[in-house]
Chain A
């Protein structure tokens, strides 16, 4: 019973490098979300998706791109990493398309940009 799986768990990048974070869920959830957590800031929404092939911007989308080609996967890309993107990234998913619903989170990806 995997739930929401994020890969990788840790990554160190140099400024300007690119990378993709993968989120996979096996619960047949419609909605998926990417958050970042920074000290003293709580979790902030980067991008989200309400279904396969759809994406939308959240609160802090700049510097990130996303894709949802398959229902179970939600990818977060950094095209040119910056030190300000050093953070812990969490993916979440939720089942219901009817409000309200509960989001289920992965274990996170800790990213350092040097």
Chain B
């Protein structure tokens, strides 16, 4: 049972345009959501997060939106840069679980020139 889903395995965007990566979840107990970025042969690195008490969190070119009623979150990257080409994982956690993360399957973003 995949509690966190990233239905788009890959996404290609031109440099300078907006990249939108989507994530859906099924467990209503999740109250904290994170995005990780992963380059080949490296470990995932934390990018941005959002608490369920918010609907938006912004950090430079990265913005995460949360729609609790739809159990959906998205990561917007504006403007996209070639260095953003990586695999992006959505993850979720909830209190009382040792902050264990449940990961989605990832979306590979390619930013083209």
In this complex, which of A41, A42, A106 has the most chain B Cβ atoms within 10 angstroms of its Cβ?
A: A42
Binding-face segment, A14-22, A68-76, A97-105: A97-105
A31-B98, A31-B99, A42-B103 known; A102+B46 contact, CB < 8 A: yes
A40-82 CB contacts (< 8 Å) to partner B: 40-45, 48, 50, 56, 58
CB neighbours of A58 from chain B (8 A):
100
Per-position binary interface string of chain B over residues 17-54, scored 1 when its CB falls under 8 Å from any chain A CB and 0 otherwise = 00000000000000110101000011111100101000
Closest to A58 in B: B100
Min CB distance A44 to B, Å, is: 7
Contact (A43, B89) CB under 8 Å given A48-B98, A94-B99: yes
- Inter-chain CA distance A41–B45, complex, in Å, is 18
What is the size category of the interface that chain A forms with chain B?
A: 20 to 34
Q: Which residues of B contact A (CB under 8 A)?
A: 4, 6, 9, 31-32, 34, 36, 41-46, 49, 51, 89, 93-101, 103-106
Docked complex Cα distance between A100 and B53 (Å) = 13
The 6 tightest CB contacts between A and B, nearest first, are: A105-B43, A100-B32, A42-B103, A99-B95, A42-B105, A43-B103
For B4, B45, B97, B99, the residue with the greatest tally of chain A CB atoms inside 10 Å of its CB is B99
Query: How far in angstroms is the closest Cβ of chain B from A79?
Result: 24
User: What is the CA–CA distance of A93 and B100 in the complex, to the nearest angstrom?
Assistant: 11
Whether B41 pairs with A108 at a CB distance below 8 angstroms is yes
Q: Report the bound CA distance from A78 to B94 in whole Å.
A: 29
Cβ A99 vs Cβ B99 within 8 A:
yes
Q: Tell me, rounded to whole Å, the shortest Cβ–Cβ distance linking A61 to chain B.
A: 13
Query: A85-114, CB under 8 A of B: which get 1 and which 0?
Result: 000001010101001111111111000000
CB distance from B67 to the nearest CB of A (A): 19
Q: Which residues of chain A have C-beta atoms less than 8 A from B46's C-beta?
A: 102-104
